[in-house]
Structure 1
Amino acid sequence: MDQQLQVFIEVAEQKNFSRAAEELHMTQPAVSQYIRSFEESIGVRLLERTNKYVRLNQAGEIVYHHAKEIAGLYSKMQNLVDDLANKASGPLTIGASYTFGEYVLPHVLSKLVADYPSIEPQVTIGNTADIAELVITHQLDVGLIEGHFKEAAPLQNEDFAEDEMYIVTSIDHPLSQNKDRQSITELEDDIWLLREEGSGTREAADLFFSQSGFYPKRIMQFSSTQPIKESVEAGLGVSLLSQWAIQKELRYGNLTTLSVKGTPFKRHFSIVTNSPFQTKALQVFIELLKNSEELTVLNMETKT
């Protein structure tokens, strides 16, 4: 990759010439010269400099966005060429939405690293929209997302796993001892603890409500699943959560599920990529996902 581009990205991310020089194993004057030359070639200043900070201006933001995409494509190209003569190895950038990334992916990665020790996985966890965007801009090799990303035109999308979602309550909830099938309207006075807009879990919850002809009177939003589980356990409200997220709590009796019409609510997880070419590392990872015994075991544990 062009040295000027690499130096610019490092300065933009470090927001400091000295720290960028350390990361690049260069002198600070050399870094400054690269930035001057790069700005001259672009034809405009890209960084605002004072004694206290270095930051991107509007032009710099534009260049940085595309520089990251160029860097991702360059890395992918190099890995594909290396694959022609080598076995599965090297970096593999994986993105996953919260539910899959926090509760399932660690089991898959453990097997991947054991079977292919030369592969170096790097993981980013975020909501569905963020992960899809990083795949689109070539900053991730693969994304594992829930729901259907609305702007997925450039992406190759393939379902690979089915998830079941259940309504969960505290063990002290008035309906927790009722094993008969219940109507969701019996929960209309409860506070519903839900993930934020843009997450696949929230998309699934909204779809479930729509199909049930019901919408909660009161909603409290959270940016991750763990505080939702803690809040449900504390009796704050109820939620609709993935089977994978609630295994331990069900096993130890900290939460319980309600038998409500329309549950378990089923959704699919998808593998998304943004290139017709795949490195050997990505190929073996996707193959491992599709044939993962871990998914089967996790699903069975929830049902038992």
Structure 2
Amino acid sequence: MDYHLLTFVTVVDKKNFTRAAETLHISQSAVTLSIKALEKDYDLKLLDRNNKYVRLTKAGEILYHHAKKILSHYDLMNRLIDDLSHSASGILTIGSSYTFGEYLLPKLISQFNGEYPLIKPNISIRNSRRIISKLLRGELDLGIVEGVMEHPKLQIQPFAQDEMVLIVSSKHPLAVKQEIKLNDLHSETWIIREEGSGTRQAINQLFSTNNFSPNEIRSFGSSQIIKESVEAGLGISILSIHTIRKELELKTLSTLRIKNNPIIRNFCYVIPKMDFQPKSVDLFLTFLQNSYTLDVLV
């Protein structure tokens, strides 16, 4: 491994020479020497720095972008070679979108750890678009996302289906209904997820298919704040049935189905297209597929 590159990336990630030195267990002077060596090699300044901040120059941005990929490939190579002679172990970096990551993944990880205690999952929860970006940058081993998408550098495979339902406050006049036409909801305030989320993608598709445009839409960044807002009577929403189980038990929310418009989407796993996958990734994907089917999760 090029330790100068590792030091440079660590300085950028930590935004501080001292914290980088602590992370790498080396002296601060050694960190400084590594940065100076790189700047001498390229005959360019890579970092603007003073006592308060560390910022990338244009040359530094280019080096950082490619150095992250180089270090990621080096780590993957070591893991693949190690897999040939040892049991699968170490960190498995999983990125998951919010619905699956917050409401289904914890139980799955617990069960997986029971069978493979030497593998240590490291979980990152983001919206689907950001999970894809992190995969392409080599920051994740695999991702779990919602909805339909394609990318030439990624293998995207559905493994389960999820039902989404209309939710209203239990005090809302619609709470007594079981089904409603979408066109009867024009005047409602819709509180929905931000662009880039799998949930938003499904809602956008529903609206587009039915040529439906609500009078007012508010975009919030998590299912939790959407649930709280709907409970408070600020509007209505559409969420996965898995995100509202506790609220249904407490009877703070009610669900309706939209007539002639069942909202079913896929949960998909996503991995980079490559000739070899680490053993820990193969084991987790096998476990994932054995745990779920393409039936709708209930």
**TM-score with structure 1 length normalisation?**
0.93
| 1:2 corresponding residue in structure 2 | 2
Which residue pairs with 2:279 in the alignment? 280
Q: Deviations over 1:191-231 (max 9, x none)?
A: 10011111111011000112223121100000111000010
Structure 1 match to 2:127: 127
Query: Once the 2 structures are TM-superposed, how far is the Cα of residue 259 of structure 1 from its aligned partner?
Result: 2.9
- Give a deviation string over 1:165-205, Cα, whole Å, max 9, x none: 000101111111123x3211221111100111111110110
SS in 2 for 1:153: coil
Distance 1:242 1:282 in 2: 27
What SS is found at the alignment partner of 1:124?
strand
Matches within 5 A, 1:189-228: 189-228=187-226
Q: Equivalences for 1:129-148 in 2 at 5 Å?
A: 129-148=129-148
Q: Give the conservation status (yes or no) of the 8 Å contact 1:128–1:149.
A: no
For structure 1, the residue ranges without an aligned partner over 5 or more in a row are none
Amino acid at match of 1:231: S
Equivalent pair of 2:97/2:128 in contact (CA under 8 Å): yes
In the alignment, what sits opposite 2:95?
95
Corresponding letter in the other structure for 2:219: Q
Q: Report if the CA contact (8 A) 1:165-1:263 is conserved.
A: no
Aligned residues: 297
Whole-Å Cα distance in 1 between the matches of residues 163 and 137 of structure 2? 31
Letter in 2 for 1:228: I
Q: Is the CA contact (8 Å cut-off) linking 1:107 and 1:294 kept in structure 2?
A: no
Amino acid at match of 1:145: V
In structure 1, how many angstroms separate the alpha carbons of the residues matched to 2:105 and 2:71? 26
Separation (CA, whole Å) in 2 of partners of 1:174 and 1:186: 13
**Are 2:174 and 1:175 equivalent residues in the alignment?**
yes
- 1:290 corresponds in structure 2 to 289
1:271 paired with 2:269, answer yes
8 A contact 1:104–1:295 mirrored in 2: no
Question: Where in structure 2 are the equivalents of 1:1-304 lying within 5 Å?
Answer: 1-149=1-149, 152-179=151-178, 181-274=179-272, 275-292=274-291, 299-300=297-298
Instruction: Give the Cα–Cα distance (whole angstroms) in 1 for the partners of residues 167 and 16 of structure 2.
Output: 48
CA distance in 1, matches of 2:217, 2:238: 12
Aligned identity (percent) is 46
Q: Which residue type is aligned with residue 257 of structure 2?
A: S
User: 2:126 & 2:135 partners in 1: Cα distance?
Assistant: 12
Q: Secondary structure at the match of 1:208?
A: helix
Residue 169 of structure 1 aligns with an amino acid whose one-letter code is: V
- Deviation of 1:293 (Å): 5.9
Over the aligned positions, Cα root-mean-square deviation in angstroms equals 1.7
Structure 2 stretches lacking a partner, 5+ long? none
| TM-score between both structures, scaled by the size of structure 2 | 0.95
- Secondary structure of 1:245's match? helix
C-alpha distance in 1, partners of 2:42/2:214?
53
| CA distance in structure 2 between the partners assigned to 1:178 and 1:54 by the alignment | 58
Question: Are the counterparts in 1 of residues 47 and 60 from structure 2 also a CA contact under 8 Å?
Answer: yes
1:84, distance to aligned residue in structure 2 (A)? 0.4
1:162 and 1:269 in contact (8 A); partners too: yes
Cα distance in 2 between the residues matched to 1:81 and 1:52: 42
**1:1-29 deviations in Å (ceiling 9; x for gaps):** 21001100111112221221111111111
